[in-house]
Structure 1
Amino acid sequence: MDVPTTTSSPLGSRAVVAVHPSGDAAPELLDPTLPALYIDDLAAVRGDGVFETLMVRDGAVRNLDRHTARFINSAAMLDLPAPDTGRWHAATDLALEHWVASGGGDGSLRWMYSRGRETTREPTGWVTVAPEPPAVARGREQGVRVMTAQRGYSLDITKDAAPWALVGAKTLSYAANMAALRYAKSHDLDDVIFIGDGERVLEGPTSTVIMARDRDGVREILTPLHEVGVLPGTTQAAMYRLAGEAGWTCSEAPLTVGDLRNADGVWLLSSVRRYARVTALDGTPLDRPVCADEIEDLATRAAEGR
């Protein structure tokens, strides 16, 4: 089929590929201006599926292996058929080929894997590529003002006590996360850091939290414990490897809001955004630390897979 490369619709600046997770059909390039989702698909009906968002840089995706591993883990937690990673990678290559050929630059590539239609029970999947939103670049360049907010469930819920809670899976059910972001923006703020009992720090709605201490001979980067319901971050994991090589001590810890306030710097990390420094936390300004340039260079290199 002929797929338009330009259109008056904002969807025309995207690439869309149907993956066909089961059966023998090869990945299929779709027209981004036409519907691709059936109304009875459980991704839309119940948010029953998983996703990954990967950075596109210079015509290639970054940290592919880390995203693939987390994608496989998320699918297993939802009892979805194990993804055929060769098929997903082929769909990624097809989407990128069209994206680059149509003049697309840096952006974000998303894998979406659904349990499928209620009528057929066959899994469905898509790969999409879209430009980096302007707000992402602003957050990286200017920093973000952040509020803390209760996530809304107890951290006493463990995988053993409630295996259905899907703690640690990157699912399509992001309505509560998006509601938190909308609330923050309605109060002239940029983002949110979720906290649990005792002001324990968890994560952002679409990001991983890190903090740095660089004083009195101590150079350490800390991130919240994953076992308390925090999704492992691919950018954070890659950054820890690079930072360790650069002489930083990197670890997970049971961080509190007080720890963030007393840190030398706090950042939100994600694959496409790379980093956004927290410039204010619950109304308290956080100064830019001396180590900021180094931390942000490490985050950039990590997100870009360097």
Structure 2
Amino acid sequence: MTPRHALLIDPVASDDDRGEFSDTLSAVDPAGPVLSLGELSAQRGDGVFESIGVVDGHPQEVTAHLERLAHSAALCDLPAPHLGQWRAAVAEIASRCPAGEYVIKLVLSRGVDQGPGPTAWVTASPAPDFSRVRRDGVRVVTLDRGVDSGASTRAPWLLLGAKTLSYAVNMAAIREAGRRGADDAVFVSSDGIVLEAPTASVIVRFGDRFVTPEPATGILHGTTQLSLFAYLAGRGFDVGYDTISVDRLRHADAGWLVSSVRLAAPIVAVDDHEIALDAALTASMTDYLLSPRD
């Protein structure tokens, strides 16, 4: 996704009591030289980020994304972001997005090596066309993440559950899925527990109950998953968190990969075990996720 718009943010302290932040936001050419070669986000992936879907100029689930940005920053020992300042940056760059689907990316980096403080910026890009996978679904394979389901509690320095810029493993997993003839992957723990996809949360239906893996296993607490659970609960379905084995995933009544930009992509096969596609429910999920949500 090539950015069409970009803003640099001069981060202020999280307890700054000002109400106006326009003087801390600077529009820059997203195709021009902006960041230093000493920037640790590029050298080490040392930073955190969020991706916010934008529909017809409306940024979706902003509060949930900002709260998760702050959570990731805390896990990585980064300065706490001022959520009012970041909200102002999101509003400013969203105002530059025309009709259609866009994605806003928020980045908070540790900054330049030996530098004075963090670097921060936001970009806005046209969203990829996910209409086919929303309609036809995805085939996934399960891949061992190499840690057990208790690793996040036992080894917090692994930063499991933080949305960091270190996405090389996630991209490698998607490439491995392609080599195995699938569209995407689902990570599982070394003790056989379903975790998450490289760039999405997993929702599974068993009868009239919809479940997702426990965030305590060291996965991102999905903003889209939370929103969909509220929607499904409003329709009278039972929703909750559960331990899901690989075998249960393969024999689910339905499943979805959900994320802020892809929205809800139905899972049609797990490790070549076919899963039914609920076209009507998926379409209603997509309609809901494309509606304005704060």
Q: TM-score, normalised by structure 1?
A: 0.87
Runs of 4+ with >6 A deviation: none
Q: Tell me the residue number matched to 2:163.
A: 170
Q: Which residue identity lines up with residue 136 of structure 2 in the other structure?
A: Q
- Alpha-carbon displacement from aligned partner over 1:190-227 (angstroms, at most 9, x marks no partner): 1000011342100000000011123xxxx110111111
Q: How does 1:291-306 map to 2 (within 5 A)?
A: 292-298=279-285, 300-302=287-289, 304=291, 306=293
CA distance in 2, matches of 1:40, 1:300: 44
Match of 2:125 in 1: 130
Matched, 1:192 2:190: no
Counterparts of 1:121 and 1:182, CA distance in 2: 37
2:100 to 95, 99, 105: 105
2:235 aligns with one of 228, 246, 249: 246
> 2:8 aligned with 1:18, yes or no?
yes
Q: How far apart are residue 275 of structure 1 and its match?
A: 0.8
1:251: Cα distance to partner?
A: 0.8
Does residue 255 (structure 1) correspond to residue 253 (structure 2)? The answer is: no
**Pairwise CA RMSD:** 2.0
2:51 maps to: 53
In the TM superposition, what is the alpha-carbon distance from 1:305 to its structure 2 partner? 5.0
Q: Which residue of 2 aligns with 1:152?
A: 146
**Quick one: distance in 1 between partners of 2:292 and 2:75?**
26
| Cα offsets for 1:167-186 (capped at 9, x unmatched) | 21111111100111112223
Alignment correspondent of 2:220:
231
- What displacement does 1:302 show? 4.4
Q: How many aligned positions are there?
A: 285
Which secondary structure does the structure 1 equivalent of 2:106 belong to?
strand
Q: Secondary structure at the match of 2:97?
A: helix
Residue 304 of structure 1, CA deviation: 4.3
> 2 CA distance for matches of 1:111 and 1:157?
27
Deviation track 1:109-135 (CA, whole Å, cap 9, x = no partner) reads 11011010014232111111111113x
Q: Which shows bigger deviation, 47-56 or 33-42? A: 33-42
User: 2: CA distance between counterparts of 1:304 and 1:191?
Assistant: 26
Encode CA deviations 1:39-74: one digit per residue, 9 max, x unaligned: 111111111111111110010101111111111111
**Distance (Å, rounded) in 1 between the aligned partners of 2:284 and 2:238:** 17
Could you tell me how far 1:284 is from its partner in structure 2? Answer: 2.0
- Which residue of 179, 189, 194 maps to 2:172? 179
Aligned to 1:265: 254
Distance 1:249 1:234 in 2: 18
Counterpart of 1:247 in 2: which secondary structure?
Answer: coil
Please list the CA deviations of residues 263-298 of structure 1 after superposition, one character each: whole Å capped at 9, or x if unmatched: 110110001111111112112222224xx4225423
How far, CA to CA, are the matches of 1:197 and 1:300 in structure 2? Answer: 36
Number of the residue aligned with 1:208: 201
* Contiguous gaps of at least 5 residues in structure 1: 1-9
Q: Which amino acid aligns with 2:257?
A: L
**Cα distance in 1 between the residues matched to 2:191 and 2:286:** 29
User: How many angstroms apart in 1 are the aligned matches of 2:104 and 2:8?
Assistant: 13
- Preserved CA contact (<8 Å) 1:269 1:299: no
Structure 1 contact 236–302 (Cα < 8 Å) conserved: no
Residue in 1 aligned with 2:17? none
